[in-house]
Chain A
Amino acid sequence: MRRQLTLAGNHALLARANPLSKFAAVLLITAVLALSIDWVSASVALVFEFLLFPLAGLTLSLLWQRGWPLIIAAAVGGWSTSILAPDSGRILLDAGIWTMSEGSLQLGVGFMLRGFAIALPAVLLMSCTDPTDLADALAQKARLPHRFVLGTLAAMRLVGLMAEEWQTIGMARRARGVGSRGSLGQRVKATLGQSFGLLVQAVRRASRLAVTMEARGFGGGQRTWARESTFSTLDLGVVAGGVLVAGLALFAALAAGTWNMVWLGN
């Protein structure tokens, strides 16, 4: 888990871009896709997103490892839409209460593609953005309060530690006779107890970390930044790329006549 949070060894082009510009591009694309449930805009966006993979240092197998819950969720969503949506056109599949028609299949595919197309930019962003760089950009460029940004960043490091601690506490409690196996009731009770144990340890760790940070002068007014968060021409390209992908998706759907604003319905 902790290994997945760091990006050691990713020297892809997009890893060098400023996190804020990447974030803006992702926001643009997802905003356009969230407006419509048609399959044309989603497919166009998806094609471009796949083309961006090498630029973000991402491969298909890495994508599956990091994003498989999202991918399965989109597929399941598409499947259930296609069998549950109101039928129109030729009936393709009839299994009693479940029917799939041309119209509902189209809706289902659109839903699934849109799910992929919205999830992928987020996965792309995460896989080429270091949390420390993101914090630098948020504090230096977006001018968010540095106490808040750096506090969150330090706390995130503890999350990985807590995952290890959870396992240890689970074993320590089993050694006391608290079963993590058994009936559902017993397991729920055991999990609640374990959560309390983890909470106690998390609070202790957090307060010790806070002392460490304060002892290193954290919390004062003025501070400098060892790493300067900068914008370069690459960032112009990133934002322009976001505009281009979002625009092409929108125009393709308008031209194909499939643009379908979510809140207007059919």
Chain B
Amino acid sequence: MAMAQATAVRPAAVTARGWGWRHAGRAKPAVRALDLDISPGERVLLLGPSGAGKSTLLHALAGVLGDINDDGGEAGDADESGSLLVDGAVPRTQRGRAGLMQQDPETQVVLSRVGDDAAFGAENLAVPREEIWARVHEALADVGLSHLPLDHPTSALSGGQKQRLALAGILAMRPGLILLDEPTANLDPAGVLEVRDAVARCLNKTGATLVVVEHRVSVWKDLVDRIVVLQPGSGTDPAVLLDGPPDQVLTEARAMLAAAGVWVPGYVPATRARAVVPSPGTGNLLLAAEQLGVSRERSRRKGFRKIPPAPVQEGLAAQVRAGQALTVTGPNGAGKSTFALTLAGLLEPVSGKVSATLDLSRGAGIDPYRWKADQLISRVGTVFQEPEHQFVTGKVLDELLFGPRHLGHGEDRVDELLERLRLTHLVDANPYTLSGGEKRRLSVATVLAASPQVLVLDEPTFGQDANTWAELASFLSELLDAGTAVVSVTHDAEFTEALGGTELRMAAAEAVAP
């Protein structure tokens, strides 16, 4: 039976002829004049700077681009030109021919039980019931999740497991074309490999065509047999800049790709070195954690009783010193971010304590969690993983002025920050409309505008291209030289190395029984 099902997958072909797409409400097209042929079973890595239309192309191939009216037409004033065909037909008319996985693991899961979620796509394609469950079992085994019971709650899965479950749901549809839109950008290094290996296994088995978009080339290089580099549509230039076998493209275009911020294999962007590397233990002590137990959960209420949460980590100790970098590393779920947020006075310690020295507290009291908001921001600044969580106004300039206005001083620093982080041309833009790299730079600038002595960053390099990465590392080295303490939570070994300083490696948290 397994063999009959494996042969049931018919790899799909992709043909684009002068294809272009402009999103509703946009002046410029996202993709212009694309000519591309992908033969059945080929595996293609799509590269290009942001704005080259990579995601737009994947969405179009998946048949989910734009809103559809009841009559099947495109709503709004979106504009399509040329033709884009999968197996010679318009993608929208071929439900189930292509399967798409996106970046955010939380939105790749639809239902609350593992088996139901894997079955969802096959149900929508009206596959008979017995056949659905046969496919679900096979797909879960293929992605390495068959050890979980079918009623296992999807909310208990890690990010990498969620993405593998999404892959299983796609496989159960038996698509001839698998589309991956930055499938590993939100995962830790172990999760990245989990997902990559699951994809490799499934492709080897089914022979389906693959199109993957990803910044980190080294992850996918050995799995694909072709790299296509797109460029932003402008004038008469073709949409495809380069096209060929991975080694050839990476040799020919290495410098160009690196300049565009693509993570080509073996390339670590140059960053500013520290003027003087201070020896460990020097620099004024600002913040200390002793015997610290942390948890993101608040005390639970069981009727009238208050039950303190079970800590994710206990007995943590750390010292934050002026001009010194502290990097917190460890596997996903170890409680790294929770620790950093507790250190930053945003979460209440479950046990032990965080104390600020007089150099930092300056009369505000010893416990950062008890500080008022404006006392906090001029002492400890925290940059969250998702920049949008921290936007509080509708204009870039107002974002930067927000902290200084609250404090009543420091507005003069804003111009310098705008200049240094290349945001000057965006002062009137809405923060939500910026690109990923611009949002990251803005979120760092807004926190620094309040001139904190300690800067805490949660996964600052997640999903960033090589250019933003290098800029950020260099900027932080300047801050360190100027005497700011920098605490960063990261999975990124190169980033840890670029910043230097002390590394606090956290072990995996022990599983807490529900």
Which A residues contact B (CB, under 8 angstroms)? 2-3, 5-6, 8, 64-65, 68, 131-132, 153-154, 157, 160-161, 167-169, 171-182, 193, 197, 200-201, 205, 208-209, 211-220, 222-228
Give a binary string over B58-82; 1 marks a CB under 8 Å from any A CB, 0 the rest.
0100111000000000000000000
User: Contacts A181-B372, A224-B128 given: A154-B384 contact, CB under 8 Å?
Assistant: no
Q: Could you give 7 example pairs across A and B, Cβ below 8 Å? A: A64-B302, A175-B447, A177-B406, A177-B450, A193-B392, A217-B121, A227-B116
Asked if B416 is at the interface of the complex by the 8 Å CB criterion, the answer is no
A2→B109 CA distance, assembly (Å): 15
Contact across chains for A216 and B111 when beta carbons are under 8 A apart: no
Chain B residues whose C-beta falls within 8 Å of the C-beta of A5 in the assembled complex = 112
Given contacts A2-B155, A213-B110, A225-B123, 10 further A-B contacts (CB under 8 A): A8-B151, A169-B389, A171-B384, A176-B392, A177-B374, A178-B392, A212-B166, A215-B99, A217-B173, A218-B120
Asked if B272 is at the interface of the complex by the 8 Å CB criterion, the answer is no
Which B residues contact A (CB, under 8 angstroms)? 59, 62-64, 95-96, 98-100, 102, 104, 106-113, 115-116, 119-129, 132-133, 136, 151, 153-155, 166, 169-170, 173, 296, 302-303, 341, 344, 346-347, 372-374, 376-377, 381-384, 386, 388-392, 402-403, 406-407, 432, 446-447, 450, 514
In-complex Cβ contact of A168 among B95, B102, B389 (8 A): B389
What's the least CB distance linking A156 to chain B, in Å?
8
Chain B residues whose C-beta falls within 8 Å of the C-beta of A64 in the assembled complex = 302-303
Contact across chains for B120 and A175 when beta carbons are under 8 A apart: no
A226→B131 CA distance, assembly (Å): 9
Pick the most buried of A131, A179, A214: most chain B CB atoms within 10 A of its CB. Answer: A214
Chain A residues whose C-beta falls within 8 Å of the C-beta of B124 in the assembled complex = 216-220, 223
In-complex Cβ contact of A171 among B63, B347, B377, B381 (8 A): B347
Contact across chains for A216 and B99 when beta carbons are under 8 A apart: yes
Chain A residues whose C-beta falls within 8 Å of the C-beta of B173 in the assembled complex = 216-217
Contact across chains for A172 and B450 when beta carbons are under 8 A apart: no
Judged by DSSP, the binding face of A is helix
User: Contacts A172-B384, A216-B173 given: A226-B392 contact, CB under 8 Å?
Assistant: no
What's the least CB distance linking A7 to chain B, in Å?
9
A239→B157 CA distance, assembly (Å): 37
User: Contacts A217-B125, A224-B123, A226-B123 given: A211-B59 contact, CB under 8 Å?
Assistant: yes
User: Contacts A176-B403, A209-B107 given: A132-B59 contact, CB under 8 Å?
Assistant: no
User: Contacts A174-B346, A193-B392, A224-B126 given: A216-B121 contact, CB under 8 Å?
Assistant: yes
Contact across chains for B102 and A176 when beta carbons are under 8 A apart: no
The 3 A-B pairs with the shortest beta carbon distances in the complex, nearest first, are A217-B124, A216-B121, A179-B373
Chain A residues whose C-beta falls within 8 Å of the C-beta of B125 in the assembled complex = 217, 220, 223
**Closest chain A residue, CB of each to CB of B378:** A177
Contact across chains for A176 and B116 when beta carbons are under 8 A apart: no
A178→B122 CA distance, assembly (Å): 47
Pick the most buried of A175, A179, A218: most chain B CB atoms within 10 A of its CB. Answer: A175
**Closest chain B residue, CB of each to CB of A9:** B514
**Closest chain A residue, CB of each to CB of B172:** A216
Pick the most buried of B133, B392, B403: most chain A CB atoms within 10 A of its CB. Answer: B392
**Closest chain B residue, CB of each to CB of A169:** B389
A169→B125 CA distance, assembly (Å): 38
A226→B122 CA distance, assembly (Å): 9
Chain B residues whose C-beta falls within 8 Å of the C-beta of A171 in the assembled complex = 341, 346-347, 382, 384
In-complex Cβ contact of B170 among A132, A172, A216 (8 A): A216
Contact across chains for A132 and B113 when beta carbons are under 8 A apart: yes
Chain A residues whose C-beta falls within 8 Å of the C-beta of B128 in the assembled complex = 224
**Closest chain B residue, CB of each to CB of A218:** B124
**Closest chain B residue, CB of each to CB of A157:** B112
Chain B residues whose C-beta falls within 8 Å of the C-beta of A205 in the assembled complex = 104, 106-107
Contact across chains for A175 and B303 when beta carbons are under 8 A apart: no
Contact across chains for A208 and B107 when beta carbons are under 8 A apart: yes
Chain A residues whose C-beta falls within 8 Å of the C-beta of B133 in the assembled complex = 226
Pick the most buried of A177, A200, A214, A228: most chain B CB atoms within 10 A of its CB. Answer: A177
Chain A residues whose C-beta falls within 8 Å of the C-beta of B107 in the assembled complex = 205, 208-209, 212
**Closest chain A residue, CB of each to CB of B372:** A179
Contact across chains for B102 and A212 when beta carbons are under 8 A apart: yes
User: Contacts A175-B376, A217-B121 given: A131-B110 contact, CB under 8 Å?
Assistant: no
